[in-house]
Amino acid sequence: MKPLPQIPPEVTQQVAEYFGILSEPMRLRLLNLLRHEERCVQDLVEATATSQANVSKHLKVMLQAGILNRRTEGTSAFYRVEDDLIFDLCHLVCDRLAARIEQQAQHFREFGLADRQESAAGRVESSNGKL
């Protein structure tokens, strides 16, 4: 077997940091709000019902990572998604999670049906024994 090429530690560090950016629920909420249009910070504050400092902190992280772009108009800052590929990644993850949840639901249904079938079989046996 041919040995696999080694990935430089700097590369794995950058990939881990990128995924780390997406590991914060507030950032995912902000990305969702920015999915179709740019929005000003105040709109994002109102939509998330959190503080401006909190929203700004998360926007800054995503801006520095190249996920968002920022423009100013007067005293307002507007943000938009710069890297639409982020939504492809989110879509892949959501599809995978949905498939797992559906599989778990099927296991629960099967477990519930097995329990009912055993109960019904027990009732049939009991009624057969009473005749």
Angle formed by the axes of helices 41-48 and 52-64, nearest 10°: 120
Q: Does 36 have pLDDT greater than 90? A: yes
Q: What is the CATH number of the domain that holds 78?
A: 1.10.10.10
- What residue numbers bound the domain in which 111 lies? 84-131
Inter-residue contact 43 to 83 (CB < 8 Å): no
Rounded to whole angstroms, how far apart are CA atoms 56 and 31? Answer: 13
Number of domains in the chain: 2
Say what the pTM is.
0.75
Kindly state whether residues 26 and 68 are assigned to the same domain: yes
Strand order in 68-73's β-sheet? 39-40, 76-81, 68-73
Question: pLDDT per residue over 77-116, tens digit each?
Answer: 999 999 989 999 999 999 999 999 999 999 888 888 766 6
The reported pLDDT for the residue numbered 125 is 61
Supply the DSSP symbol for 34. Answer: T
Rounded-to-integer distance, Cα 41 and Cα 55, Å: 7
